[in-house]
Amino acid sequence: MSAPAPRQLRADAARNAERIVHAGRRAFAELGADVSLAEIARRAGLGVATLYRHFPSKDDLILAIFEWHYADQVEPAINEALADGDPWQGMVTVLEAALRLAAEEKSTFVAARDPARVTSDLASRFFSALSTIVRRAQQAGLVRAALEPGDLPRLVTMLVSTLRQSDESAQVWRRYLALLLDAFRPAAATPLPPASQS
Amino acid sequence: MSAPAPRQLRADAARNAERIVHAGRRAFAELGADVSLAEIARRAGLGVATLYRHFPSKDDLILAIFEWHYADQVEPAINEALADGDPWQGMVTVLEAALRLAAEEKSTFVAARDPARVTSDLASRFFSALSTIVRRAQQAGLVRAALEPGDLPRLVTMLVSTLRQSDESAQVWRRYLALLLDAFRPAAATPLPPASQS
Protein backbone atom coordinates (compact mmCIF):
# COMPACT_ATOMS: atom_id res chain seq x y z
CA MET A 1 0.00 0.00 0.00
CA SER A 2 1.46 3.39 -1.00
CA ALA A 3 1.53 6.37 1.43
CA PRO A 4 -1.31 8.88 1.01
CA ALA A 5 -0.49 12.03 -1.00
CA PRO A 6 0.37 15.20 1.01
CA ARG A 7 -2.86 16.91 -0.10
CA GLN A 8 -4.88 13.97 1.25
CA LEU A 9 -2.95 14.18 4.56
CA ARG A 10 -3.75 17.89 4.89
CA ALA A 11 -7.42 17.29 4.15
CA ASP A 12 -7.53 14.53 6.79
CA ALA A 13 -5.82 16.82 9.32
CA ALA A 14 -8.28 19.66 8.63
CA ARG A 15 -11.23 17.26 8.98
CA ASN A 16 -9.85 15.91 12.26
CA ALA A 17 -9.29 19.42 13.64
CA GLU A 18 -12.89 20.32 12.77
CA ARG A 19 -14.22 17.14 14.42
CA ILE A 20 -12.28 18.00 17.57
CA VAL A 21 -13.56 21.59 17.56
CA HIS A 22 -17.19 20.46 17.27
CA ALA A 23 -16.77 17.72 19.89
CA GLY A 24 -15.09 20.26 22.18
CA ARG A 25 -17.92 22.80 21.90
CA ARG A 26 -20.53 20.17 22.71
CA ALA A 27 -18.47 18.68 25.54
CA PHE A 28 -17.91 22.04 27.26
CA ALA A 29 -21.61 22.88 26.92
CA GLU A 30 -22.82 19.50 28.19
CA LEU A 31 -20.18 18.57 30.78
CA GLY A 32 -18.83 21.95 31.86
CA ALA A 33 -15.38 23.47 32.12
CA ASP A 34 -13.66 20.49 33.73
CA VAL A 35 -14.12 18.09 30.85
CA SER A 36 -10.82 16.38 29.92
CA LEU A 37 -9.14 16.48 26.53
CA ALA A 38 -9.28 12.66 26.56
CA GLU A 39 -13.09 12.80 26.76
CA ILE A 40 -13.18 15.29 23.89
CA ALA A 41 -10.93 13.01 21.80
CA ARG A 42 -13.25 10.07 22.60
CA ARG A 43 -16.29 12.07 21.47
CA ALA A 44 -14.49 13.09 18.28
CA GLY A 45 -13.75 9.40 17.60
CA LEU A 46 -9.99 10.09 17.58
CA GLY A 47 -7.00 9.15 19.67
CA VAL A 48 -5.83 11.55 22.34
CA ALA A 49 -2.42 11.77 20.58
CA THR A 50 -4.15 13.11 17.47
CA LEU A 51 -5.93 15.73 19.59
CA TYR A 52 -2.67 16.83 21.26
CA ARG A 53 -0.98 17.09 17.85
CA HIS A 54 -3.61 19.62 16.80
CA PHE A 55 -4.14 21.32 20.17
CA PRO A 56 -1.22 21.00 22.62
CA SER A 57 -3.26 22.63 25.42
CA LYS A 58 -6.91 23.12 26.35
CA ASP A 59 -6.56 26.85 25.64
CA ASP A 60 -5.35 26.08 22.10
CA LEU A 61 -8.54 24.08 21.52
CA ILE A 62 -10.67 26.80 23.08
CA LEU A 63 -9.08 29.44 20.85
CA ALA A 64 -9.84 27.22 17.84
CA ILE A 65 -13.48 26.91 18.96
CA PHE A 66 -13.81 30.69 19.21
CA GLU A 67 -12.10 31.20 15.87
CA TRP A 68 -14.32 28.64 14.20
CA HIS A 69 -17.50 30.22 15.63
CA TYR A 70 -16.30 33.75 14.79
CA ALA A 71 -15.51 32.80 11.18
CA ASP A 72 -18.79 30.90 10.86
CA GLN A 73 -21.17 33.48 12.38
CA VAL A 74 -19.62 36.86 13.14
CA GLU A 75 -17.45 37.50 10.08
CA PRO A 76 -20.36 36.92 7.65
CA ALA A 77 -22.47 39.37 9.71
CA ILE A 78 -19.65 41.93 9.53
CA ASN A 79 -19.28 41.55 5.78
CA GLU A 80 -23.03 41.83 5.34
CA ALA A 81 -23.14 44.93 7.55
CA LEU A 82 -20.36 46.64 5.59
CA ALA A 83 -22.31 46.07 2.38
CA ASP A 84 -25.75 46.79 3.86
CA GLY A 85 -27.60 49.85 2.61
CA ASP A 86 -29.12 50.23 6.08
CA PRO A 87 -26.21 50.93 8.47
CA TRP A 88 -28.45 50.64 11.55
CA GLN A 89 -29.63 47.15 10.64
CA GLY A 90 -26.09 46.09 9.78
CA MET A 91 -24.89 47.23 13.22
CA VAL A 92 -27.71 45.37 14.97
CA THR A 93 -26.96 42.17 13.06
CA VAL A 94 -23.28 42.28 14.04
CA LEU A 95 -24.05 42.94 17.71
CA GLU A 96 -26.55 40.06 17.68
CA ALA A 97 -23.98 37.69 16.15
CA ALA A 98 -21.39 38.65 18.78
CA LEU A 99 -23.81 38.23 21.68
CA ARG A 100 -25.00 34.90 20.31
CA LEU A 101 -21.38 33.73 20.20
CA ALA A 102 -20.81 34.91 23.79
CA ALA A 103 -24.00 33.17 24.94
CA GLU A 104 -23.39 29.89 23.12
CA GLU A 105 -19.70 29.68 24.07
CA LYS A 106 -20.17 30.71 27.71
CA SER A 107 -19.03 27.30 28.99
CA THR A 108 -16.15 27.21 26.52
CA PHE A 109 -14.98 30.61 27.75
CA VAL A 110 -15.15 29.55 31.40
CA ALA A 111 -13.10 26.43 30.60
CA ALA A 112 -10.10 28.51 29.49
CA ARG A 113 -7.17 28.84 31.85
CA ASP A 114 -6.62 32.41 30.64
CA PRO A 115 -9.89 33.50 28.96
CA ALA A 116 -8.74 37.08 28.28
CA ARG A 117 -5.63 35.91 26.43
CA VAL A 118 -7.59 33.36 24.39
CA THR A 119 -10.08 35.95 23.14
CA SER A 120 -7.90 39.09 22.93
CA ASP A 121 -6.94 38.79 19.26
CA LEU A 122 -10.51 38.02 18.15
CA ALA A 123 -11.79 40.86 20.33
CA SER A 124 -9.51 43.43 18.71
CA ARG A 125 -10.48 42.25 15.23
CA PHE A 126 -14.14 42.43 16.24
CA PHE A 127 -14.04 45.89 17.79
CA SER A 128 -12.04 47.28 14.91
CA ALA A 129 -14.77 46.12 12.49
CA LEU A 130 -17.56 47.23 14.83
CA SER A 131 -16.04 50.73 15.05
CA THR A 132 -16.25 51.07 11.28
CA ILE A 133 -19.83 49.81 11.26
CA VAL A 134 -20.91 52.18 14.04
CA ARG A 135 -19.16 55.11 12.32
CA ARG A 136 -21.17 54.40 9.16
CA ALA A 137 -24.38 54.53 11.21
CA GLN A 138 -23.22 57.77 12.83
CA GLN A 139 -22.45 59.31 9.44
CA ALA A 140 -25.99 58.40 8.37
CA GLY A 141 -27.32 60.21 11.46
CA LEU A 142 -28.72 56.98 12.92
CA VAL A 143 -26.44 56.73 15.98
CA ARG A 144 -25.64 59.59 18.37
CA ALA A 145 -22.34 61.26 17.52
CA ALA A 146 -21.08 61.10 21.13
CA LEU A 147 -20.46 57.33 21.02
CA GLU A 148 -16.73 56.69 20.64
CA PRO A 149 -14.85 53.56 19.55
CA GLY A 150 -13.62 53.16 23.15
CA ASP A 151 -17.23 52.83 24.31
CA LEU A 152 -17.85 49.72 22.24
CA PRO A 153 -15.89 47.15 24.31
CA ARG A 154 -17.52 48.50 27.47
CA LEU A 155 -21.02 48.32 25.98
CA VAL A 156 -20.47 44.76 24.78
CA THR A 157 -19.06 43.81 28.21
CA MET A 158 -22.24 45.24 29.75
CA LEU A 159 -24.37 43.03 27.50
CA VAL A 160 -22.19 39.98 28.17
CA SER A 161 -22.66 40.55 31.92
CA THR A 162 -26.38 39.75 31.48
CA LEU A 163 -25.39 36.22 30.41
CA ARG A 164 -23.90 35.39 33.80
CA GLN A 165 -27.17 34.80 35.60
CA SER A 166 -29.03 33.16 32.73
CA ASP A 167 -28.67 29.80 31.05
CA GLU A 168 -27.41 29.47 27.52
CA SER A 169 -30.77 28.85 25.88
CA ALA A 170 -32.32 31.98 27.44
CA GLN A 171 -32.06 34.98 25.18
CA VAL A 172 -32.25 37.54 27.96
CA TRP A 173 -29.46 39.51 26.30
CA ARG A 174 -31.84 40.43 23.47
CA ARG A 175 -33.89 42.56 25.86
CA TYR A 176 -30.85 44.51 27.07
CA LEU A 177 -29.46 44.90 23.58
CA ALA A 178 -32.81 46.41 22.52
CA LEU A 179 -32.72 48.73 25.53
CA LEU A 180 -29.13 49.82 24.86
CA LEU A 181 -29.91 50.37 21.18
CA ASP A 182 -32.62 52.83 22.23
CA ALA A 183 -29.82 54.77 23.96
CA PHE A 184 -27.80 54.69 20.72
CA ARG A 185 -30.48 56.66 18.89
CA PRO A 186 -30.03 60.42 18.56
CA ALA A 187 -33.69 60.92 19.56
CA ALA A 188 -33.14 60.42 23.31
CA ALA A 189 -29.57 61.62 23.48
CA THR A 190 -28.60 63.88 26.37
CA PRO A 191 -24.98 65.03 26.91
CA LEU A 192 -22.71 62.24 28.17
CA PRO A 193 -19.91 62.61 30.72
CA PRO A 194 -16.52 62.33 28.96
CA ALA A 195 -15.22 58.88 27.96
CA SER A 196 -11.99 59.20 29.92
CA GLN A 197 -11.51 61.16 33.10
CA SER A 198 -8.27 61.77 34.91
CA MET B 1 -10.56 50.60 90.33
CA SER B 2 -14.18 49.65 89.63
CA ALA B 3 -15.21 47.85 86.39
CA PRO B 4 -16.62 50.11 83.64
CA ALA B 5 -20.42 50.35 83.42
CA PRO B 6 -22.11 48.15 80.75
CA ARG B 7 -23.12 51.24 78.73
CA GLN B 8 -19.49 52.36 78.60
CA LEU B 9 -18.44 48.87 77.47
CA ARG B 10 -21.00 48.91 74.67
CA ALA B 11 -19.85 52.35 73.54
CA ASP B 12 -16.21 51.16 73.51
CA ALA B 13 -17.17 48.07 71.53
CA ALA B 14 -19.09 50.11 68.96
CA ARG B 15 -16.15 52.51 68.59
CA ASN B 16 -13.71 49.62 68.14
CA ALA B 17 -15.94 47.99 65.52
CA GLU B 18 -16.10 51.25 63.60
CA ARG B 19 -12.30 51.70 63.78
CA ILE B 20 -11.86 48.18 62.39
CA VAL B 21 -14.35 48.80 59.56
CA HIS B 22 -12.57 52.00 58.50
CA ALA B 23 -9.11 50.42 58.78
CA GLY B 24 -10.41 47.43 56.76
CA ARG B 25 -11.76 49.60 53.92
CA ARG B 26 -8.49 51.48 53.59
CA ALA B 27 -6.39 48.31 53.86
CA PHE B 28 -8.33 46.48 51.13
CA ALA B 29 -8.13 49.54 48.87
CA GLU B 30 -4.40 50.13 49.46
CA LEU B 31 -3.03 46.59 49.84
CA GLY B 32 -5.53 44.48 47.90
CA ALA B 33 -7.62 41.44 48.69
CA ASP B 34 -4.87 39.42 50.39
CA VAL B 35 -4.36 41.76 53.33
CA SER B 36 -4.42 39.87 56.66
CA LEU B 37 -6.80 40.52 59.53
CA ALA B 38 -3.69 41.03 61.71
CA GLU B 39 -2.58 43.94 59.49
CA ILE B 40 -6.09 45.43 59.70
CA ALA B 41 -6.02 45.13 63.52
CA ARG B 42 -2.61 46.83 63.55
CA ARG B 43 -3.93 49.70 61.42
CA ALA B 44 -6.94 50.06 63.73
CA GLY B 45 -4.58 50.25 66.72
CA LEU B 46 -6.24 47.19 68.30
CA GLY B 47 -5.22 43.67 69.18
CA VAL B 48 -6.05 40.91 66.76
CA ALA B 49 -8.14 39.19 69.50
CA THR B 50 -10.38 42.27 69.66
CA LEU B 51 -10.81 42.16 65.89
CA TYR B 52 -11.73 38.45 65.95
CA ARG B 53 -14.24 39.09 68.77
CA HIS B 54 -16.08 41.53 66.49
CA PHE B 55 -15.47 39.78 63.17
CA PRO B 56 -14.76 36.03 63.41
CA SER B 57 -13.97 35.83 59.67
CA LYS B 58 -12.82 38.12 56.88
CA ASP B 59 -16.26 37.86 55.27
CA ASP B 60 -17.87 39.08 58.52
CA LEU B 61 -15.69 42.19 58.37
CA ILE B 62 -16.41 42.67 54.67
CA LEU B 63 -20.14 42.44 55.30
CA ALA B 64 -19.77 45.08 58.04
CA ILE B 65 -17.89 47.35 55.61
CA PHE B 66 -20.67 47.05 53.03
CA GLU B 67 -23.35 47.61 55.66
CA TRP B 68 -21.54 50.66 57.00
CA HIS B 69 -21.13 52.16 53.52
CA TYR B 70 -24.73 51.33 52.57
CA ALA B 71 -26.13 52.95 55.74
CA ASP B 72 -23.85 55.95 55.30
CA GLN B 73 -24.40 56.68 51.59
CA VAL B 74 -27.13 54.62 49.95
CA GLU B 75 -29.90 54.64 52.57
CA PRO B 76 -29.90 58.47 52.83
CA ALA B 77 -30.15 58.67 49.02
CA ILE B 78 -33.09 56.22 49.09
CA ASN B 79 -34.91 58.21 51.80
CA GLU B 80 -34.29 61.42 49.89
CA ALA B 81 -35.56 59.86 46.66
CA LEU B 82 -38.75 58.61 48.29
CA ALA B 83 -39.43 62.16 49.55
CA ASP B 84 -38.23 63.92 46.39
CA GLY B 85 -40.80 65.84 44.34
CA ASP B 86 -38.82 64.94 41.20
CA PRO B 87 -38.95 61.12 40.91
CA TRP B 88 -36.44 61.11 38.01
CA GLN B 89 -33.79 62.97 40.00
CA GLY B 90 -34.43 60.77 43.05
CA MET B 91 -33.88 57.65 40.96
CA VAL B 92 -30.66 59.05 39.48
CA THR B 93 -29.32 59.94 42.94
CA VAL B 94 -29.96 56.40 44.24
CA LEU B 95 -28.30 54.77 41.22
CA GLU B 96 -25.31 57.09 41.62
CA ALA B 97 -24.96 56.22 45.32
CA ALA B 98 -25.08 52.49 44.54
CA LEU B 99 -22.52 52.73 41.75
CA ARG B 100 -20.24 54.87 43.92
CA LEU B 101 -20.41 52.17 46.60
CA ALA B 102 -19.60 49.46 44.04
CA ALA B 103 -16.69 51.51 42.67
CA GLU B 104 -15.21 52.45 46.05
CA GLU B 105 -15.58 48.96 47.54
CA LYS B 106 -14.36 47.07 44.49
CA SER B 107 -11.26 45.79 46.35
CA THR B 108 -13.35 44.96 49.42
CA PHE B 109 -15.74 42.92 47.29
CA VAL B 110 -12.92 41.00 45.61
CA ALA B 111 -11.44 40.19 49.05
CA ALA B 112 -14.55 38.23 50.09
CA ARG B 113 -14.39 34.46 50.04
CA ASP B 114 -18.04 34.35 48.93
CA PRO B 115 -18.86 37.83 47.54
CA ALA B 116 -22.39 36.94 46.43
CA ARG B 117 -23.34 35.68 49.89
CA VAL B 118 -21.82 38.73 51.61
CA THR B 119 -23.85 41.18 49.51
CA SER B 120 -27.09 39.23 48.91
CA ASP B 121 -29.07 40.66 51.82
CA LEU B 122 -28.03 44.25 51.07
CA ALA B 123 -28.76 43.66 47.38
CA SER B 124 -32.33 42.53 48.04
CA ARG B 125 -32.97 45.50 50.32
CA PHE B 126 -31.52 47.81 47.68
CA PHE B 127 -33.48 46.42 44.74
CA SER B 128 -36.71 46.39 46.72
CA ALA B 129 -36.28 50.13 47.42
CA LEU B 130 -35.12 50.84 43.87
CA SER B 131 -38.23 49.12 42.45
CA THR B 132 -40.45 51.50 44.42
CA ILE B 133 -38.42 54.50 43.27
CA VAL B 134 -38.52 53.46 39.61
CA ARG B 135 -42.27 52.75 39.85
CA ARG B 136 -42.82 56.32 41.10
CA ALA B 137 -40.90 57.65 38.09
CA GLN B 138 -42.95 55.41 35.79
CA GLN B 139 -46.21 56.63 37.33
CA ALA B 140 -45.03 60.19 36.64
CA GLY B 141 -44.45 59.20 32.99
CA LEU B 142 -40.70 59.81 33.27
CA VAL B 143 -39.54 56.20 32.79
CA ARG B 144 -40.77 53.85 30.06
CA ALA B 145 -43.49 51.54 31.33
CA ALA B 146 -41.83 48.40 29.94
CA LEU B 147 -39.06 48.38 32.56
CA GLU B 148 -39.80 45.69 35.14
CA PRO B 149 -38.43 45.18 38.67
CA GLY B 150 -36.53 42.12 37.40
CA ASP B 151 -34.62 44.32 34.97
CA LEU B 152 -33.07 46.41 37.73
CA PRO B 153 -30.50 43.89 39.06
CA ARG B 154 -29.42 43.15 35.50
CA LEU B 155 -29.08 46.85 34.63
CA VAL B 156 -27.04 47.52 37.78
CA THR B 157 -24.85 44.47 36.99
CA MET B 158 -24.28 45.93 33.52
CA LEU B 159 -23.09 49.20 35.06
CA VAL B 160 -20.94 47.39 37.64
CA SER B 161 -19.27 45.48 34.79
CA THR B 162 -17.80 48.80 33.56
CA LEU B 163 -15.81 49.04 36.81
CA ARG B 164 -13.79 45.94 36.04
CA GLN B 165 -11.40 47.53 33.55
CA SER B 166 -11.10 50.91 35.28
CA ASP B 167 -9.40 51.98 38.49
CA GLU B 168 -11.38 53.08 41.50
CA SER B 169 -10.82 56.81 41.09
CA ALA B 170 -12.06 56.79 37.46
CA GLN B 171 -15.72 57.60 37.17
CA VAL B 172 -16.20 55.84 33.88
CA TRP B 173 -19.47 54.37 35.19
CA ARG B 174 -21.03 57.85 35.09
CA ARG B 175 -20.86 57.83 31.29
CA TYR B 176 -22.64 54.48 31.00
CA LEU B 177 -25.20 55.40 33.62
CA ALA B 178 -25.99 58.53 31.58
CA LEU B 179 -26.27 56.40 28.43
CA LEU B 180 -28.52 53.84 30.10
CA LEU B 181 -30.71 56.59 31.58
CA ASP B 182 -31.32 57.85 28.03
CA ALA B 183 -32.75 54.39 27.35
CA PHE B 184 -35.00 54.71 30.42
CA ARG B 185 -36.78 57.73 28.91
CA PRO B 186 -40.06 57.15 27.14
CA ALA B 187 -38.86 59.41 24.27
CA ALA B 188 -36.65 56.81 22.59
CA ALA B 189 -38.54 53.71 23.69
CA THR B 190 -39.09 50.98 21.13
CA PRO B 191 -40.76 47.68 22.06
CA LEU B 192 -38.51 45.40 24.14
CA PRO B 193 -38.26 41.62 23.87
CA PRO B 194 -39.93 39.98 26.91
CA ALA B 195 -38.10 39.92 30.23
CA SER B 196 -38.20 36.15 30.59
CA GLN B 197 -38.23 33.65 27.79
CA SER B 198 -38.53 29.94 28.08
Which residues are CB-contacts of A8 (< 8 A; sequence separation ≥ 6)?
none
ipTM surpasses cut 0.95: no
Q: What is the mean pLDDT of residues B55-74?
A: 95
| Inter-chain CB proximity B162 and A164 less than 8 Å | no
- Taking the CA of residue B74 and the nearest CA in chain A, the distance in Å comes to 22
CB atoms within 10 A of CB B40: 26
pLDDT band at residue B197 under the 50/70/90 scheme: very low
pLDDT tens, position by position, A114-162 = 988 888 999 999 999 999 999 999 999 999 999 999 999 999 999 999 9
From A151, A165, A183, residue closest to B183, measured CB to CB: A183
From B158, B165, B180, residue closest to A162, measured CB to CB: B158
Helix (H) or strand (E) run with residue A52 in it: helix A48-54
Residues of B in contact with A165 (CB under 8 A): 153-154, 157
CA neighbor of B131 nearest in space, from B78, B167, B85: B78
Torsion angle of the four alpha carbons A15, A20, A21, A23, in this order, in degrees rounded to the nearest 10? 120
Residues of A in contact with B171 (CB under 8 A): 193, 197
CA closest to A153 among chain B residues: B162
Q: Are residues A170 and A99 in contact, defined by beta-carbon separation less than 8 angstroms? A: no
Q: What is the mean pLDDT of chain B?
A: 91
Torsion angle of the four alpha carbons A10, A13, A14, A17, in this order, in degrees rounded to the nearest 10? -160
| Inter-chain CB proximity B158 and A154 less than 8 Å | no
| pLDDT tens over chain A, length 198 residues | 566 777 887 888 889 999 999 999 999 989 988 999 999 999 999 999 999 999 999 999 999 999 999 999 999 999 999 998 899 999 999 999 999 999 999 889 988 999 888 889 999 999 999 999 999 999 999 999 999 999 999 999 999 999 887 665 678 899 999 999 999 998 878 888 887 643
CA distance B171 to B99: 10
Residues of B in contact with A171 (CB under 8 A): 193, 197
pLDDT of residue B68 exceeding 90, the answer is yes
Which residues are CB-contacts of A123 (< 8 A; sequence separation ≥ 6)?
A153
Residues of B in contact with A164 (CB under 8 A): 157
Residues of A in contact with B158 (CB under 8 A): 158-159, 161-162, 176
CA distance A165 to A128: 29
| Inter-chain CB proximity B183 and A187 less than 8 Å | no
- Taking the CA of residue B61 and the nearest CA in chain A, the distance in Å comes to 27
Q: Are residues B69 and B111 in contact, defined by beta-carbon separation less than 8 angstroms? A: no
